[in-house]
Amino acid sequence: MIGEPLVLGIETSCDETGAGIVRGRELLANEVASSMDQHARFGGVVPEVASRAHLEAMVPVLEGAFAKAGVRPADIDAVAVTAGPGLAGTLMVGVAAAKAYAYGLGKPLYGVNHLAAHVAVDQLEHGALPSPCVALLVSGGHSSLLLVRDVTGSVEPLGATIDDAAGEAYDKVARVLGMPFPGGPPIDKAAASGDAAAIRFPRAKYHDGTLDFSFAGLKTAVARWVEAKRDAGEPVPVADVAASFQEAVADVLTRKAIEACRRRDVPDLVIGGGVAANSRLRALAERRCELAGIRLRVPRPGLCTDNGAMVAALGADIVASGRPPSSLGLPADSSLPVTEVLVR
Ligand code: KG4
Ligand code: ZN
């Protein structure tokens, strides 16, 4: 290997088939195929349907990434793949593909943690992560605050949701409002023309002194409020509900993230995961971080939702750290803990 490692990253933890190629912290390709259209009518991802879609999309997506990057498979230095957490069946498709490429090309294989990859991806846009930094990780399956000393190996959980993930709350509230799945983007869009102060939805655990979250009560409160309107035969002010719900989520997330920075005396916050694409969360985090003297980093929306570049970015960092690769017997682990960045 000459210079920065050229790494292929494969992502299949949910419904996005992602293949990314990076050279060190330089993004060369980020191809994503989504099977979301096939799940939309079920209101959630159907694991077996997603697994089959990954099988069909895998080779075209990989070939697309190589073409875009202008590199040949034989040129890469390593293959990184999401080993977990995620859906067991979908993870297996990506892990099998990664093993095939690694074995066929005679390159090392790195099975990496999806959550750490959501944090590592920011380096493709903003350079090396400060050490330590606090990470707010908000996706469809997770909402966590992490103390990241080294994204390739030292990640300490500071707090997490005790029930629904933030993205899950978006998806469920969208369903109540008759919006398509996944709910984040349509709620974000509807909220743009709504009044965030129209309805005061609850902010659970706001003053509880922990760094944990809870979104199940908020989701229920929104559903009850909407039901009451419908029962009364009144029109539901969808934009106001979306904006007020979004405000409650962004308020709690940013408050606790800043509290985590304060408690650990860490002046750098990075936000990652699909919900980090949310416009209100980004704007409020920016304002509150500025007031608190905290430097904020959030990747552009296209890098926040699941993709292969994030896996390649973490893989490149791990290669550079000199850690030994995974074995070809690498398992997929659907409940991989956030502390396990690299699976052997
Ligand atoms: O990280 P991600 O792509 O997949 C998981 O690892 O779960 O996150 C998906 C989640 C979904 O719940 C989706 O509704 C949410 O991210 N999301 C958003 C936005 N875009 C995606 N939530 C709020 N606002 C958005 N703009
Ligand atoms: Zn994700």
Q: Could you check whether 6-121+307-343 and 131-299 share the same CATH topology?
A: yes
Q: In this structure, which residues have their CB less than 5 angstroms from ion ligand 2?
A: 139, 306
Handedness of CA 85, 86, 92, 95 (dihedral sign): negative
pLDDT tens for each residue of the chain, 344 residues long: 668 999 999 999 999 999 999 999 999 999 999 998 888 888 788 999 999 999 999 999 999 999 999 999 999 999 999 999 999 999 999 999 999 999 999 999 999 999 999 999 999 999 999 999 999 999 999 999 999 999 999 999 999 999 999 999 999 999 999 999 999 999 999 999 999 999 999 999 999 999 999 999 999 999 999 999 999 999 999 999 999 999 999 999 999 999 999 999 999 999 999 999 999 999 999 999 999 999 999 999 999 999 999 999 999 999 999 999 999 999 999 999 999 999 99
Residue with the nearest Cα to atom 7 of ligand 1?
A: 140
Write out residues with Cβ below 6 Å of ligand 1: 14, 139-141, 167, 170-171, 182-185, 188, 273-275, 277-278, 305-306
DSSP summary character for residue 163? S
pLDDT at 2: 61
pLDDT at 40: 81
CA of 73 to the centre of ligand 1 (A): 31
- Whose tokens are 């089959």? That residue is 52
Spatial neighbors of 16 by CB under 8 A, at least 6 apart, are 32, 33, 34, 35, 305, 306, 307
CATH of domain 6-121+307-343: 3.30.420.40
Pairing assessment for the beta strands 109-113 and 342-343 based on DSSP bridges: antiparallel
Ligand 1 atom with the shortest distance to the CA of 13:
6
b/e map of 134-144 (b: 16 or more CB within 10 Å)?
A: bbbbbbbbbbb
Backbone phi and psi for residue 271, each to the nearest 5 degrees, phi listed first: -115, 135
Residue with the nearest Cα to atom 23 of ligand 1?
A: 184
**What pTM value is reported for the model?**
0.96
Residue 8 is inside which H or E element, if any? strand 6-11
pLDDT at 95: 98
Ligand nearest to C-alpha 305:
1
* Alpha-helical regions (H) of the chain: 36-39, 47-69, 88-105, 114-120, 123-126, 166-176, 184-191, 216-231, 238-264, 279-292, 301-304, 308-321
pLDDT at 1: 65
Residue 65 is inside which H or E element, if any? helix 47-69
Q: Where are the domains of the chain?
A: 6-121+307-343, 131-299
Ligand 1 atom with the shortest distance to the CA of 16:
3
Residue with the nearest Cα to atom 13 of ligand 1?
A: 184
CA of 116 to the centre of ligand 2 (A): 10
CA of 109 to the centre of ligand 2 (A): 21
pLDDT at 42: 84
* Closest by CA position to 117, among listed 231, 234, 251, 12: 12
| Tokens matching residue 299 | 């990747």
Q: What number of other Cβ atoms are within 10 A of residue 329's Cβ?
A: 7
pLDDT at 43: 79
Q: Which fold has domain 131-299?
A: Nucleotidyltransferase; domain 5 (3.30.420)
- Whose tokens are 């922990």? That residue is 210
pLDDT at 3: 82
CA of 218 to the centre of ligand 1 (A): 17
Helices 279-292 and 238-264, packing angle to 10 deg: 40
pLDDT at 183: 95
Please count the residues of the chain.
344
Pocket test for ligand 1, best of 170, 219, 246, 300 (most atoms within 8 A of CB): 170
Q: What number of other Cβ atoms are within 10 A of residue 43's Cβ?
A: 15
